[in-house]
Structure 1
Amino acid sequence: MRHTVNRLLRTTLLLAAVLAISTELSTAEAAVPPSGPASLPAVGSPAVLHTQAVASSLMDVASGRLLSQENGDKELRIASLTKIMTAIVAIENGKLDEVVTVSPRAAGKEGSSLYLKAGEKIKLVDLLYGLMLRSGNDAATAIAEHVGGSVEGFAYLMNLKAEELGMEHSRFANPSGLDQEGHYSSANDLARLASYALHNDTFRSIVRTKVKTAPNPNEKWEYKWINKNKMLLQYEGADGVKTGYTKKALRCLVSSATRNGQQLVAVTLNDRNDWQDHRRLLDYGFEKYPLETVIKKGETVAGYPFVTVNDFRYPFADGEREKLRLRIVPIASDSIDYAFGARGKLALRLGDQEIGTVGLAAAPSSSNDSAPNNPEAKANGSPPDEQARMKSILAWIKSKVFP
């Protein structure tokens, strides 16, 4: 009896998925690139894995899905976690091989330091390593002055980036994270920022580095910077990101780790037990939300003259994938030519929320198995037999919902 009920349930879900496929959309809803990894919404209410932090967040990097959060939107001081934004803004707006001249203002900056000297010349890329590994406030100021023209100008760029990423609970007033009124962020915003930054090859390479040496023009020996992030040594697969502390922000940490092709980001703000809490958060994410490949690049969409232009992966909790819905959105249906194919997008929904899109390109006519086998029908651009077409669509959807 149980098997019969399960079969009925699966059939019902598949029929619902088929009904979700739409071909009657206007040209205005034509193909669009997939959503950025940090812009995708959470599905339902994320779990709450309790920590000793005032606020915490856990996010899957590939999809941007929020897996756990506690006070995730609470606006708090973030100390040197600020430097994640400083680094990505500098990488995107500066030239890594450019030589930066350290100003007296930068050399005299209080707090954690690389002990740069006024007038010293050092490459931007080396400053970025010193910024992220040793949390140099002097490096942060030198970077800001070089890339933004001034600390204030660079802060403007930081806030532009925050707005672009949808960081609604963040405002940046300086590049170092030293306590200042009007300088704050949230755990969820920082998870979004780190997930975005980890898609940048340069940023990713810097934050996973345990030890870095760089030329020191003031001495006979080189600079040697050892990363303060203990997670790189203490947690399997750890590959970032940044520590932080001030007397008002207290202990703050963003960490990342990769296992079985899945990368997660964990954030804690004001957490006296941060190393242990991050291990728990990451373990929870890898165990409860394994990343699954739903769509592969170059895959032919059954029943349509489309091929997918990118992969789509998503972290599903146990039993969640059966709620997946796929909706094919082509250019206006009356313009589809089965002899030459068409373009559109594949929208994926989990429950009531869209979790991403996959671009669709016209399939080569030689591999267009959705077009009719009748040469005359192909020449006339007429659609294939609907019964056979729906059968192939059903089989294709089944392979996505019940792999």
Structure 2
Amino acid sequence: MRKIAALLVALTLLFGTSAPAGAVSTSASSAVLMDVGSGRVLFEEDMHTPRPIASITKLMTALVAVEETSDLSQVITVEPEWLEGVEGSSLYLKAGDQLTLETLLYGLLLQSGNDAAQVIACWIGEDLEGFAQLMNEKARELGMSNTHFTNPSGLNQEEHYSSAYDMALLACACLGNPTVANICATQNISLEGRTFVNHNKLLWLEEDCVGMKTGYTEASGRTLVSAATRGAQTLVCVTLNDPDDWDDHQALLHYGFDTYPVTQLCGEGTTVGQAAVVGSVQPTVSLVAQGDCWYPLAEGEQLDMQLDVYSPLTAPIPAGTQVGTARWILDGEVVAGMPVETGTGVEDDRWKPNALVRWWMGLWGKSWETTVPGMGLI
């Protein structure tokens, strides 16, 4: 639909005049800190460079597995060929073992079992190549443009790589999947006679931590994806080749929460503006947000709101009709948006008695039900 000229409204979201609080740094080759709700990058170091990623690969393995197979109670019998070439961290699976997909997923994400990764991949994708294809399809869907997978475990291969930014996108997707998110947040669990303890020390070190995944190979160095939630805000942090990852993640998460707290831009049903109406004695209609919208802002940052309304708004218009979009702008860039709808209905009431008086009163912001001398209640 064609849009009329946008209304630009300055919001009073100014928290001060100073710049964001002191800079942080890491020991990583690549790093990124991202606000999950908005996707805003709060800190980065070389975040788009492709690098080996080791076992944080298993976040994609788990996400694909859960999306491909919703029934985690299915029992999987381990085939001998599925264990060929397995090395590194292991659940010590043997041919003929029978485990549920749920148990394998916990072993994958908590104990980082490479054998669990291969069993899941071969069971779902028929072989490692087939499952890698599913992983790459999901990567493209998520916009992971500097990523390519060749195996489900993260063991080093030349064409197996990702970037810190891409892994943050994957982490956000995993947090949006309740099954994967819940597994990543589990400190320890016993299933089918096996006990798994999460390798992610941040679950014990940081009270706000909600998981995600550790990794290490000689080629990649230490890799880590973490997530933390404080109030209405969730952050994800990714470091690649970081010898001091535990301390770096704690510092970055604290920096993000302290420097870029989320601010509510609108709430569901709150009025964000007015729009002109033709075909009615009511000259305008209030526009309300269809949902909640939050955005992280540092001290001194200010947003403008641009209200784009479809044209023309012609009566009659039922209440709750979507008629446009509210967009918030930071430094000339649209950073958030929310559909808006009519807060009340608008009738085509031009034919009704006293319509001209009603129109005139509307221009002056008077109530429609107003007593006018000599005319009574109109």
With the shorter chain as reference, the TM-score category is 0.7 to 0.9
Structure-1 separation of matches of 2:364 and 2:244: 60
1:357 matched to 2:357? The reply is: no
| Corresponding residue for residue 98 of structure 1 | 74
* Alpha carbons of structure 1 residues 375 and 232: separation in structure 2 relative to 1, 3 Å: farther
Structure-2 separation of matches of 1:48 and 1:330: 40
CA deviation after TM superposition for structure 1 residue 185, in Å:
0.4
CA deviation after TM superposition for structure 1 residue 264, in Å:
0.9
CA deviation after TM superposition for structure 1 residue 246, in Å:
0.6
CA deviation after TM superposition for structure 1 residue 301, in Å:
3.4
1:337 matched to 2:308? The reply is: no
Whose strand proportion is higher, 1 or 2? 2
Residue correspondence of structure 1 range 307-322 to structure 2 within 5 A: 307-320=288-301, 322=302
* Alpha carbons of structure 1 residues 375 and 347: separation in structure 2 relative to 1, 3 Å: farther
Equivalent of 1:237 in 191, 208, 217: 208
CA deviation after TM superposition for structure 1 residue 259, in Å:
1.4
- SS of aligned partner of 1:334: coil
Contact 1:338–1:378 at 8 Å: present in 2 too?
Answer: no
- SS of aligned partner of 1:245: strand
1:327 matched to 2:306? The reply is: yes
CA deviation after TM superposition for structure 1 residue 330, in Å:
2.9
CA deviation after TM superposition for structure 1 residue 146, in Å:
1.9
Equivalent of 1:112 in 67, 85, 89: 89
CA deviation after TM superposition for structure 1 residue 19, in Å:
4.0
Contact 1:174–1:183 at 8 Å: present in 2 too?
Answer: yes
Unmatched tracts of structure 2, length 5 or more: 1-5, 10-19, 275-284, 367-378
Number of residue pairs matched by the alignment: 335
CA deviation after TM superposition for structure 1 residue 379, in Å:
9.1
- SS of aligned partner of 1:254: strand
| Corresponding residue for residue 28 of structure 1 | none
Equivalent of 1:87 in 62, 78, 92: 62
CA deviation after TM superposition for structure 1 residue 223, in Å:
0.2
TM-score normalised per structure 1? 0.76
| CA RMSD, Structure 1 to Structure 2 (Å) | 2.9
* Alpha carbons of structure 1 residues 302 and 20: separation in structure 2 relative to 1, 3 Å: closer
* Alpha carbons of structure 1 residues 144 and 301: separation in structure 2 relative to 1, 3 Å: same
Structure-2 separation of matches of 1:383 and 1:84: 62
Structure-2 separation of matches of 1:156 and 1:128: 19
Residue correspondence of structure 1 range 5-16 to structure 2 within 5 A: none
> What code does the residue aligned with 2:139 have?
A
Contact 1:372–1:385 at 8 Å: present in 2 too?
Answer: no
Structure-1 separation of matches of 2:107 and 2:305: 46
Equivalent of 1:187 in 155, 164, 188: 164
For residues 311-362 of structure 1, the C-alpha deviation after alignment (integer angstroms, 9 at most, x for no partner) is: 1111101121x2x12222233x124436425412222221211112212234
Contact 1:20–1:325 at 8 Å: present in 2 too?
Answer: yes
Structure-2 separation of matches of 1:48 and 1:166: 29
Equivalent of 1:69 in 22, 33, 44: 44
CA deviation after TM superposition for structure 1 residue 238, in Å:
0.9
Contact 2:75–2:98 at 8 Å: present in 1 too?
Answer: yes
- SS of aligned partner of 2:217: coil
* Alpha carbons of structure 1 residues 373 and 205: separation in structure 2 relative to 1, 3 Å: farther
Unmatched tracts of structure 1, length 5 or more: 1-17, 22-44, 216-221, 390-403
* Alpha carbons of structure 1 residues 302 and 223: separation in structure 2 relative to 1, 3 Å: same
Decide which structure has the larger Cα Rg and report it: 2
TM-score normalised per structure 2? 0.81
CA deviation after TM superposition for structure 1 residue 383, in Å:
11
